[in-house]
Amino acid sequence: MKRIKIFDTTLRDGEQSPGCSMDLSEKIEMAKQLEKLGVDVIEAGFAIASPMDHKSVRAIAAAVTNCTVASLARCTKGDIDAAWDAVKEARHPRIHVFLATSDLHMQYKLQMTREQVLSRIREMVAYAKGFCADIEFSAEDASRSEPAFLARCYSEAVAAGATTLNVPDTVGYSTPQEMAELIAYLRAHVEGIEHTDISVHCHDDLGMAVANTLACVKAGATQVECTVNGIGERAGNASLEEVVMAIHTRRDFYDAKTGINTKQIYRSSKLLSNITGVPIAPSKAIVGANAFAHESGIHQHGVIANAQTYEIMNSTDVGIPQNTMVLGKHSGKHALRERLVSMGYELTDEELEQVFSRFKVLADKKKNITSSDIEALVLHRRSTAAGACRLLSHVVNAGDGLPNTSCVRLQREEAVLEEVAIGSGPLDASFKAINRMLDMDVKLESFSLHAVTDGEDAIGEAVVKVSTPNGQVYTGTGLSTDVIESSIRAYVNGINKIMEAAV
């Protein structure tokens, strides 16, 4: 049974999704979760893109120990220098260089001839090899490149020292049969390919990224490039959880395995959703709310008799929490810790204290606390930086034909601030009051609200995107059984991120 390496590019390609940007602390937290998940390679970013990208790649390289950490670089010395400087402190560094090889890209984007492209590949892969033993070469738009020329490009890369050859379906144009045939062709025609890993990087423009990736695994690929929740440019990338669980569930067909700890899949998915503010679709395979739900009476009867009648996986295999032990307002810290441990969360005493205090507040509002409630409390992020604001209380007055007013009280360090404002609605009034008391010019870009648990006393999670006058956008989240409160908490969370970034 062959071992398939998982190359995760959530922090590079995934973060390029509109609205999915992350700050440094969030990237590090996500990288550590990817390490727990068991991915083989974390592509931490594109170091040359900006000083912040360079800083985040370097920080991730220092934060993880079990994964290879890669930085993307174009086939230029400046890019490669920046990539190496960012990953050089990693325990397992990799430089990932790329150059387009399709006639379309070479003519209109690169304005280079085939011979010039071959020469550049040869020169730049060798240059990167001078810094690092682990070099990956990607032929951008490989699926639309002429196969014989593509094979020459990869042969040059291998001769110059590449240890991984990546075959991207950059624009999601290919089909599973075509991708499988391309892998088979390259295995037969690239000189020295038997000494390298064959990787694939598929986009989902036609909804076939996962199918294309799995077809390549069957054809001989030994590394797959994917993202958590399938995020990425345009329609996204191959979804890590779908690729991994397909290989895991159908080991008999693919004759392959990965090193992924599947019980960390759900938590990784939820953490990313919480960080980016992008909700997981209920019908999303593997991690969606409906993935293991059965409403049809026929299905319910079958599952009760034998779960395998309608479930090809166990929910616990992917780490979906089970709501069995009931916690309430009389439960103590020990019981909460036990539940957290059973769910796989390892919190410090300080982190447990913070979660416990929020748990007690929630328990006063809800009769029963479920695992989903607890998970929401753990994943919900609050700023702990100096100068961060905390919501103390709020009173809103809203109605048809009446002025919508809000009185908000915040604590900032030792100071208690209070302000009243009138708005077009209770939230608009609340946000205006916060801006006024903090003397900040913050604009609300988007707002969403959804239930993260079930029942009439469900927790509502509000997600806001707020921007500063210079155009920087920050995501804030808030939780409460009161939707007004969760919305105000989300706005305060976004404000805190703005203040942290300004320090």
> Which percentage of the chain shows pLDDT scores above 90?
67
Whether residue 395 sits in one domain with residue 265: no
What's the rounded Cα separation, in Å, for the pair 186 and 174? 16
- Evaluate whether residue 281 is within a structural domain: no
Whether residue 328 sits in one domain with residue 316: no
- Evaluate whether residue 288 is within a structural domain: no
Whether residue 231 sits in one domain with residue 301: no
Stretch 77-93: mean pLDDT, rounded? 98
Which domain does 435 fall in, by range? 389-502
Q: Which residue has the higher pLDDT, 362 or 26?
A: 26
CATH of the domain at 435: 3.30.160.270
Of the residues 218, 248, 276, the one at which a domain ends:
276
**Confidence check: pLDDT of 54 > 80:** yes
Q: What is the dihedral of CA 102, 104, 110, 114, to 10 degrees?
A: 50
The single-letter code of the amino acid at 382 is R
State the pLDDT confidence band at 101, using cuts at 50, 70 and 90. very high
CATH of the domain at 109: 3.20.20.70
Of the residues 212, 242, 276, the one at which a domain ends:
276
- Evaluate whether residue 494 is within a structural domain: yes
User: Average pLDDT of the chain?
Assistant: 90
Stretch 241-246: mean pLDDT, rounded? 98
Q: Identify the DSSP state of 457.
A: T
Whether residue 443 sits in one domain with residue 453: yes
Long-range Cβ pairs for the range 289-292 (8 Å, 24+) = 291/315, 291/320, 292/320
Whether residue 328 sits in one domain with residue 310: no
H helices present in 171-220, as ranges: 176-189, 209-219
Stretch 28-32: mean pLDDT, rounded? 96
- Evaluate whether residue 282 is within a structural domain: no
> Which percentage of the chain shows pLDDT scores above 70?
92
Whether residue 465 sits in one domain with residue 334: no
Whether residue 220 sits in one domain with residue 113: yes
Distance of CA 161 to the CA centre of its chain: 31
Per-residue pLDDT reduced to its tens digit, 390-443: 899 999 998 888 889 999 999 998 899 999 999 999 999 999 999 999 999 999
Is 99 within 8 Å of 108 (Cβ atoms)? no
Stretch 15-20: mean pLDDT, rounded? 78
Per-residue pLDDT reduced to its tens digit, 342-379: 777 788 888 888 888 888 888 887 766 777 778 778 87
Whether residue 197 sits in one domain with residue 101: yes
State the pLDDT confidence band at 302, using cuts at 50, 70 and 90. low
- Evaluate whether residue 284 is within a structural domain: no
Whether residue 176 sits in one domain with residue 78: yes
Is 83 within 8 Å of 73 (Cβ atoms)? yes
- Evaluate whether residue 402 is within a structural domain: yes
- Give the chain's domain count: 4
pLDDT at 334: 77
Whether residue 238 sits in one domain with residue 89: yes
- Evaluate whether residue 220 is within a structural domain: yes
Whether residue 367 sits in one domain with residue 398: no
Stretch 25-40: mean pLDDT, rounded? 96
Of the residues 209, 242, 276, the one at which a domain ends:
276
Name, in order, each residue with C-beta under 8 angstroms of 23's C-beta and a sequence gap of 6 or more.
474, 497, 500, 501
Whether residue 314 sits in one domain with residue 365: no
- Evaluate whether residue 283 is within a structural domain: no
